[in-house]
Structure formats: structure tokens, C-alpha cells
Amino acid sequence: MQVRPSRLGTTYVELEYEALAGEQAMAWAAEGEEVARAHQLRAQGLARRAATTEVLLAEQELAVREANAAYLHAARVLLPYTRREPGAKWRYALCWPLLVLGDMSGVWAAAVSFGEVPAIALGQALASGVAAGCAGLVGSEVKALRLARGRARDPETLSDDERRYQRLFVGRDRGARLVGLAGLLSLVVMALLSVGIFILRASTEGTAAGAMFGCLAAATAMGSFLLGYASADEVADLLYAYQRRARSAERHFRRLGSASVLRRQAEAAEAARSLGVEHQARGLAATQRVEALAWRIQHNNAVVTGHGFAAGEAGGVIGRRRRQDGAQ
């Protein structure tokens, strides 16, 4: 073996392939920029919309936190004062239309039997059925008045948390006279409906049928009263409103978070970044390939460049060092 001649500097071949290696790095970087351009343009086009959505998302996140905090605070403070579970008013929403429908059916059938035009009879029956149902709505006001009196306390005895809901704990009257007036009007409505249906049924089907349907009309109004009384709970309704607000804020937050513009902008930006990294790596690999070819040419021309560097030279084998005793 012969080492590289000490008088031999950098050959033209080495300079040539060094330039070719630099060209490879720049060429692959340019190609990476070219293939990533479409994704970069799409990402930039979506940037404004994505930024707007992110601002709204941040605001909605704050709204979710506030709504959840308000609900948890209300539940912690007010839950001991509820008389039914929050959100259970669906029973009232389901049963009240059934009561109205039952009363309406009896009036409609009687009016048609009496000779009324069915379409007109339907409107009259619907009005009387709703009147019977509304006559019992005062039951919820009576229940609310009773619960309010049970919760009534001196404002000075309220805790800091309870003062946030002070209206639920102060005031003993809470419109008792107005509730009494509404109750009186409900009784009048119930009486008028019962008498009217009695007269209508008695004229077509006899006194017994008239009395029966009149009692059913009164029972409908009283059933509506009892239904309203059983389902009324101002505190539970307030807790349910807080809960619905929190759930609505969470749903809106999820919709914003899953907006397609954010996904498409992120996908385009990631595709552009990935393509840039890929072509940068390919450029480095191509550079190493060209450098390897330069070494191969020198290896194939050992008569000129030798078989390698002398031990210890900078261009020699990486990692080999002289030992302290001078041995290799």
C-alpha cells in the first residue's frame, strides 16, 4: 500500500464532486419547496379562517369554564333546597298535553254530535282544552309560594355563596295575593267549562252523560293543578337552567374544535413541513452519495492519490488516535 503523496493537494476531481454535492443539496431543497408549494398555499389561504376560529374557540373555552363553574357552584349551594331532581320537569311537559288532548276530544265529539261543523268544533274544543289545562297552572305558583316561604331567611344570615342567589331566600309574600286571585280565576274557568260541557252533552246524550263529561272536564283542570303543584320547584329549575347552559357551551365548543377549517389548515401545514423535511433528508443522502463517488474515483486511481491517508492525518480514519507510547 502507498499513502497519499504529501505534496498532493486537493485534486480537481475532489473539487468537482464537492461542487456536485453542494448542487445536490440545493436541488433537493428546491424540489422540496416545489412539491410543498401547493400545501403551503392552501395552508396560507386557510390561515385567516383558522385564526378566527381559534379566537372563537378560545372565547368559547372561557365560556365553558364559566358555565361549568356557575353550575357547580349553584349545585353545591342550592341542591339541599331542591324538592325534585333537576331536569325532571319532562313529566309535566309530557302529561300536560295529554290532559289538554283528553278534554279537547270530549268537547269536539259533543260539538260534532250537536251538529257543529267539524273544523269549527275542533277549534272550539282546542280552546276549551287549553283553557282547562291552563286553569291548573296556578298549582305551580302555589307550590312555588310554599317553597319560597320555607326558604325565607333574614338576609343577614345568608352566607357569601347564598347571597349570590339572594332572591331565592328573601321575601315572605312573593305575590301571595296575586296567586290567590289566579286561583280564584282558575276555579271560575273550571266551573264554566264543567257547566258548558254538561249542557252540551246533556242536550245530545242525556243528563247522565252531561254530568259525566262535566265531571271529567273538572277533573282535567284539577289534574292540571296537581301536576303543576307536583312538578314546580324554582330552585331545581334554576339548577337545570345552569346545567343546560353548561352543556350548550360544551356542545358549541366541541363544534368549533372539530371545525373542518382547522383540520384542513393543520393537514396542509403538516404536509408542507413533512415534504420539506423529506427532501432535506434526500438532499443530504444525495450529498453523501456524491462524496462517496468522489472517494471511489480516488480509490480507483491509487497510483495518483494513493490508497489512503497516513495514520494520524486529518483526512485519515475517523476515531483512530496515537497512543501515548507511539503505537498505532
Residues 140-154: tens digit of each pLDDT: 888 888 888 888 888
Averaged pLDDT score across all residues of the chain: 81
Regarding whether 201 and 241 lie in a shared domain, the answer is no
Closest C-alpha among 21, 18, 7 to residue 305: 7
Regarding whether 238 and 224 lie in a shared domain, the answer is no
Regarding whether 205 and 93 lie in a shared domain, the answer is yes
Residues contacting 147, CB < 8 A, separation 6+: 83, 232, 233, 234, 235
Average pLDDT in the 300-328 region? Answer: 57
- CA angle 28-31-37, nearest 5°? 140
Which run of H or of E encompasses 273? Answer: helix 260-300
- What pLDDT score was predicted for residue 312? 67
- Among candidate residues 200, 232, 264, the one where a domain is terminated: 232
pLDDT tier at 321, thresholds 50, 70, 90? very low
What is the domain extent for residue 49? 1-82+234-328
Regarding whether 94 and 199 lie in a shared domain, the answer is yes
Regarding whether 304 and 322 lie in a shared domain, the answer is yes
Regarding whether 213 and 274 lie in a shared domain, the answer is no
Regarding whether 207 and 147 lie in a shared domain, the answer is yes
Regarding whether 135 and 41 lie in a shared domain, the answer is no
- Among candidate residues 203, 232, 261, the one where a domain is terminated: 232
Query: In the chain, what percentage of residues exceed pLDDT 70?
Result: 91
Which run of H or of E encompasses 72? Answer: helix 12-78
Regarding whether 130 and 269 lie in a shared domain, the answer is no
Residues contacting 239, CB < 8 A, separation 6+: 71, 74, 75, 78, 79, 82, 86
Q: How far apart, in Å, do the first and last CA atoms of the chain sit? A: 17
106 vs 287: which has the higher pLDDT: 287
- Among candidate residues 184, 212, 232, the one where a domain is terminated: 232
β-bridge partners, 3: 308
- What pLDDT score was predicted for residue 59? 92
Domains in the chain: how many in total?
2
Regarding whether 116 and 252 lie in a shared domain, the answer is no
Answer whether 0.85 is exceeded by the pTM.
Answer: no
What are the backbone angles phi and psi of residue 155, rounded to the nearest 5°?
Answer: -55, -25
- What pLDDT score was predicted for residue 173? 58
Average pLDDT in the 278-304 region? Answer: 85
Regarding whether 88 and 24 lie in a shared domain, the answer is no
Regarding whether 221 and 210 lie in a shared domain, the answer is yes
